[in-house]
Amino acid sequence: MNLPFRITHRRLAALVALLLCLPPTTAFPAADKATSEIGGFEIPKPGRKFTFPRDHGSHPEFSIEWWYLTGHLRTQAGGPFGFQATFFRRSTSPSHSSTNAPRSAAFGHQQLFLAHMAFVDVSAQRFYHQERLNREGWDAYATTNTLDVRNGNWTLHLSDHGATPTLLLRGSCFAEIAFELSLHPLKPLVAFGTNGVSRKAAEPSAASHYLTFPRLRAQGTVAIRGAQSAVTGEAWMDHEFSSSQLGEGQVGWDWASIQLQDGRELMAYRMRRNDGTTDPFSTLAWIQPSGEIQHLNANQFSWEVLSRWKSPTSGAEYPSRLRLNTVDPASGKPFSVVLQPLVLDQELRGDIGGIAYWEGACRVENTSGQPIGNAYLELTGYAGTLKGKF
């Protein structure tokens, strides 16, 4: 997760960033089992019936929410490129009021909006990123009745509400990169977890509602230092909302979205404990071409670190090349892929939010070194524990 646009009111930005990173024990007490809440915020409950387009929108009854997009793009002349766009919402106090009220020049204080944009030019081995943080108001918001999210001139919204909606994304990285993409689902929306709840730890509060478009056709334009080109490619979109993500003893996670050339996808997250072990609530999910999901537990997959990269900025040492070992549910046989970063330095510095992490475009290879797909890999908690922030 990451942030920038040039903020003139830096003292205000620093104050808001401080509020954003307050430990949950400061603002959000332990979960109340009787009410299924944590500090007045809701906890994801099994059996939720998702309704669209409403559930594509914001859920202020939960304290944490993000809309996350990554993808791989090419121009007719070349590439490849990778992009990430993440819009975060964080509540500073419980409020179940609608965020659809008319917006004016006044700013609210109950919702904070953080956004990260990143772009990687693989041929040039260049990584661009920017972070931005704003209070709710006319220039930063997320509506509750549909997908319509803004942070400055970065926007994400649905252009229609049909069975296969079109998403429109606009992002940039300062004056160097700008992109506008139209995203069309190539397979159905899926909900990860059991009965609508994706568990992250033993505590009932450490869970989320986790909705994903695992494969979107992307088309649009990219401008690199003013030179604009048409691009096409494929993307992935996550939407998660919860009131707590980490459990006792957890410090971060390794997460991957993998799009295979055979039409299947994998989503895997390894919740890391402070002793270096994998939490039993870690999960891998296979998504079949039909959209059917098959979940595997922590004992049915493993991460193998093949090499590491040390950030010259944060000093954090990240796994830079990983082998994911699991079982292919189609054949029942062992299945392994290697995630090879397309650029080593894809660290988001956390200049505003204070949380550095690695989020990068990767090539997916089989055990013979042949490319069989694309992936995005997220590595958090290596530059300091995330406990108290999620």
CATH number at residue 205: 2.40.370.10
Q: Which long-range contacts (CB under 8 A, 24 or more apart) does 157-162 make?
A: 158/53, 158/56, 161/52, 161/53
Counting the structural domains of the chain, the total is: 1
Contact 369, 382 (CB under 8 A): no
Q: What is the pLDDT of residue 157?
A: 96
Q: CA-to-CA distance for 204 and 243, rounded, in angstroms?
A: 11
In this structure, is residue 157 part of a structural domain?
Answer: yes
| pLDDT band for position 77 (cuts 50, 70, 90) | confident
**Domain residue limits at 270:** 10-379
In this structure, is residue 103 part of a structural domain?
Answer: yes
55 DSSP assignment: G
Which of 92-106, 150-164, 169-183, 304-318 has the least mean pLDDT? 92-106
CA distances from 309 to 5, 210, 306, 345 (A): 27, 30, 11, 8
pLDDT digits (tens, 9 = 90+) for 265-281: 999 999 999 998 999 99
In this structure, is residue 288 part of a structural domain?
Answer: yes
In this structure, is residue 260 part of a structural domain?
Answer: yes
Q: What is the pLDDT of residue 386?
A: 57
Size of the chain, expressed as the number of residues it contains? 390
> What does pLDDT average to over the chain?
87
Which amino acid would we find at residue 133? L
Taking alpha carbons only, the member of 151, 187, 189, 143 closest to residue 169 is 151
In this structure, is residue 318 part of a structural domain?
Answer: yes
Q: What is the pLDDT of residue 351?
A: 81
Please state, for a pLDDT cut of 90, what percent of the chain lies above it.
Answer: 74
In this structure, is residue 61 part of a structural domain?
Answer: yes
pLDDT digits (tens, 9 = 90+) for 96-149: 444 444 444 456 678 999 999 999 999 999 999 999 999 999 899 999 999 999
In this structure, is residue 389 part of a structural domain?
Answer: no
Q: Residue 105: how many CB atoms within 10 A of its CB?
A: 7
**pLDDT higher for 27 or 167?**
167
